[in-house]
């Protein structure tokens, strides 16, 4: 039964004792527990709810009035002044706020946790984790989000009844009281626990916690970011779980099987599982409370583009793994790339949805990938819902490499980005531009998706290592059963460089968009660069970024539209919606709207979920490589975007949180 306001016009005689009790319960629920009354009416988790579908049941803002949106408030964290240009350049703003115990929570790239009044943006408290600031380029600072937990054993006024968990760039996990911003005294040592491993780091920032923790049935678990391509024996990608109330270590899961009796170890030849690192969980995990399952998207093993020292399929790398939340044991797993040497690690957060097939309701988990694939699996068993086929892929790698003869391809939905590039596909603004792109493609090894990396002039990796779909993740409209997801369509060139020519070299050139990494412990280092024309445009036909709607009941594409304009890259600022590469994700509301930033042009946009029509946009103070969120406060719906610098996109720096709402008619 929905909680409705008490009828102020009713006569006192008509109000029974039961009605009074019901109204008091409603008022209490509104004041103290509105987020729990309708889980899709708040935003307590990075993905909105534990299922990660980024859907809001709020509908005050809709297609008829979205054009009336105006800035309600702007908050500046002060990080621009506090950190200085060098640290800001070495950071990426990717934060999605959460709504916890009546406060809006944001975390800065430097792990300052800030609580704001959601109606005004006024600062309530700040907690500074005081992290190590010695990380150097390209080991950038980042905090994508935090997550909340309400302790059912704590009294209403108890300290840390509502906790906020935040992982840090220097590998700690904090529990902070949501009301006061103070450390939770009963959690670990003064509100923090170390999240470390026996293996030492070669430098500060090689491993860190950047994504929001996941909380399920009293267990809080964290994954980690591990720097790519630097060495074959990279830090381990272990997932750690702790008691949410006490911080006591409960279990750990290393996606690379080290124990001799683990059947997955057979997929690592020559005991290479004992000398390989990474296979970390750097994307955000999601949880199924009913089944007590945590879904972990596992990245590729180290290094990314050479696997000669780790022959075999390499379970559980480049997989989605369902873990029992109490024990950390593997319930099931599904590997979407065998022996990944393309940096196609599982970067997108999974999404838990219910769909109907042949009259049967199926609890599903959707895992999007950089290849542009959407794997739809039964979340109880891991069995594909639409089917998956093992298909032959290109062979003939460099001597010493190992290749799987086949790779898994989902039968449906279809790939959301192109899967190969030929000279005939070359594109350019001019005839000269197109001819130059054609010659480039002709010179490269390009045999379709999963073309093995090669030495100079190199191999085409298409989709590129940014996707396809990346860490921004999808959203889901439960009424239409549609997934909304953003994609990038830009090819890359990967060149394996003999060891003698690359020893000790590690660097990033943001001006020309390529990077060089040593991949120590292997015969080759690696150089990556985007496949661009002389005029700086991708050598493929636009759109270079899209927003796509997919019917998850049958796997069909409902619509797709370009996402982003190249106006800021032109001599004259003329809107030209060819789509841009993008990072960050969408949200969907019951008002029939999609909100998304993500693009290189710096706008937050609203689209009609029914047909993909762009209805509204507003330019942000800085980069938009974040995911927005929405909530209700004081009877008004707000849409909030965090705007700031992004290392890889070179986005403008900002430390702003911008909130939008419809005009407040009460002020008129």
For the annotated catalytic residues, the residue numbers are 343
Select from 484, 432, 442, 455 the least CA-distant residue to 588: 484
Cα(52)–Cα(366) distance, integer angstroms: 10
Do the beta carbons of residue 562 and residue 546 sit within 8 Å?
Answer: yes
Is the backbone peptide bond immediately before 457 cis, with ω within 30 degrees of 0?
yes
Select from 661, 502, 530, 665 the least CA-distant residue to 600: 530
Phi then psi for 80, rounded to 5 degrees? -60, -45
Cα(411)–Cα(470) distance, integer angstroms: 21
Query: Using CB atoms within 10 A of its CB, is residue 127 exposed (0-12), middle (13-18) or buried (19+)?
Result: buried
Cα dihedral 195, 199, 202, 204, rounded to 10, equals 10
Element spanning 58, H or E: none
- Strand locations in 62-191, DSSP E? 70-76, 98-100, 103-107, 112-116, 123-128, 147-150, 162-167, 172-177
Which residues does residue 145 pair with via DSSP β-bridges, in sequence order?
none
Cα(373)–Cα(505) distance, integer angstroms: 33
Per DSSP, 453 falls in state P
Neighbours of 134 (CB within 10 A): 10
Select from 79, 94, 48 the least CA-distant residue to 639: 48
What tokens appear for 363 in the block? 């609890």
- Strand locations in 188-343, DSSP E? 192-194, 207-208, 214-216, 219-222, 225-226, 239-243, 249-253, 286-288, 293-298, 319-324, 330-335
Cα(497)–Cα(514) distance, integer angstroms: 14
What tokens appear for 632 in the block? 């209700």
Is the backbone peptide bond immediately before 201 cis, with ω within 30 degrees of 0?
no
Neighbours of 267 (CB within 10 A): 21
* DSSP-H helix ranges across 391-455: 431-443
541 contacts: CB under 8 Å, gap ≥ 6: 425, 427
Q: How far is CA 481 from CA 415, 484, 555, in A?
A: 18, 10, 10
Element spanning 25, H or E: helix 17-32
Cα(276)–Cα(302) distance, integer angstroms: 6
Phi then psi for 572, rounded to 5 degrees? -115, 135
Query: Using CB atoms within 10 A of its CB, is residue 373 exposed (0-12), middle (13-18) or buried (19+)?
Result: buried
Cα(588)–Cα(599) distance, integer angstroms: 17
């Amino acid at each position: 039964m929905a909680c409705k306001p008490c009828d102020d016009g009713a006569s006192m005689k008509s109000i029974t004792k039961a009605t009074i009790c019901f109204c008091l319960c409603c008022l209490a629920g509104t004041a103290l527990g509105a987020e729990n009354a309708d889980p899709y009416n708040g935003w307590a988790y990075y993905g909105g709810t534990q299922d990660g579908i980024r859907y809001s049941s709020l509908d005050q803002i809709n297609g008829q009035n979205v054009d009336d949106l105006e800035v309600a408030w702007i908050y500046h964290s002060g990080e621009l002044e506090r950190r200085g240009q060098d640290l800001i350049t070495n950071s990426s703003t990717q934060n999605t706020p959460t709504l916890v115990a009546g406060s809006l929570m944001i975390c800065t790239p430097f792990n300052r946790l800030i609580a704001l009044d959601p109606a005004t943006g006024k600062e309530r408290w700040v907690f500074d984790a005081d992290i190590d600031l010695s990380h150097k380029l390209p080991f950038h600072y980042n905090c994508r989000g935090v997550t909340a937990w309400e302790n059912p054993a704590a009294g209403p006024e108890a300290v840390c009844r509502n906790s906020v968990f935040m992982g840090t760039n220097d590998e700690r996990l904090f529990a902070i009281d949501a009301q006061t911003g103070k450390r939770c005294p009963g959690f670990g040592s003064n509100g923090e626990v170390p999240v470390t491993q026996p293996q030492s780091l070669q430098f500060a920032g090689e491993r860190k916690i950047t994504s929001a923790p996941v909380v399920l049935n009293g267990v809080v678990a964290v994954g980690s970011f591990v720097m790519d391509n630097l060495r074959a024996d990279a830090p381990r990608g272990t997932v750690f779980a702790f008691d949410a109330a006490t911080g006591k270590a409960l279990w750990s899961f290393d996606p690379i099987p080290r124990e001799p009796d683990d059947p997955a170890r057979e997929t690592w030849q020559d005991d290479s599982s004992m000398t390989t690192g990474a296979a970390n969980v750097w994307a955000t995990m999601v949880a199924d409370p009913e089944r007590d399952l945590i879904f972990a998207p596992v990245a590729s093993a180290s290094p990314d583009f050479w696997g000669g020292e780790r022959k075999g399929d390499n379970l559980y790398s480049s997989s989605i793994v369902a873990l029992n939340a109490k024990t950390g044991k593997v319930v099931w797993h599904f590997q979407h790339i065998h022996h990944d040497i393309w940096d196609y690690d599982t970067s997108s957060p999974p999404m838990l949805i219910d769909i109907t097939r042949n009259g049967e309701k199926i609890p599903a988990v959707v895992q999007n990938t950089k290849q542009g694939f959407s794997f739809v699996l039964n979340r109880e068993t891991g069995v594909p819902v639409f089917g998956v086929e093992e298909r032959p892929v290109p062979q003939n790698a460099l001597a010493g490499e190992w290749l799987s003869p086949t790779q898994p391809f989902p039968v449906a939905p279809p790939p959301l980005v192109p899967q190969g590039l030929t000279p005939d596909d070359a594109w350019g603004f001019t005839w000269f531009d197109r001819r130059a792109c054609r010659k480039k493609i002709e010179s490269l090894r390009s045999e379709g998706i999963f073309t093995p990396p090669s030495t100079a002039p190199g191999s085409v990796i298409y989709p590129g290592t940014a996707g396809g779909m990346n860490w921004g993740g999808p959203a889901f409209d439960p009424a239409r059963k549609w997934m909304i997801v953003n994609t990038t369509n830009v090819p890359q060139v990967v060149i394996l460089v003999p060891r003698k020519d690359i020893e000790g070299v590690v660097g990033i050139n943001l001006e020309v968009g390529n990077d060089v990494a040593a991949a120590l412990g292997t015969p080759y280092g690696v150089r990556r660069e985007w496949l661009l024309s002389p005029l700086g445009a991708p050598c493929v036909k636009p759109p270079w970024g899209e927003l796509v709607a997919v019917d998850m009941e049958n796997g069909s594409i409902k619509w797709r539209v370009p996402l982003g304009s190249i106006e800021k890259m032109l001599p004259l600022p003329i809107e030209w919606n060819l789509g841009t590469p993008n990072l960050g994700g969408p949200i969907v509301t019951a008002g029939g709207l999609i909100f998304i930033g993500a693009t290189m042009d710096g706008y937050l946009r609203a689209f009609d979920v029914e047909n993909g029509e762009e209805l509204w946009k507003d330019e942000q103070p800085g980069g938009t490589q974040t995911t927005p969120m929405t909530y209700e406060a004081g009877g008004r719906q707000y849409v909030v975007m965090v705007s700031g610098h992004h290392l890889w996109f070179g986005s403008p720096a900002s430390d702003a949180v911008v909130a939008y709402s419809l005009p407040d008619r009460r002020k008129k």
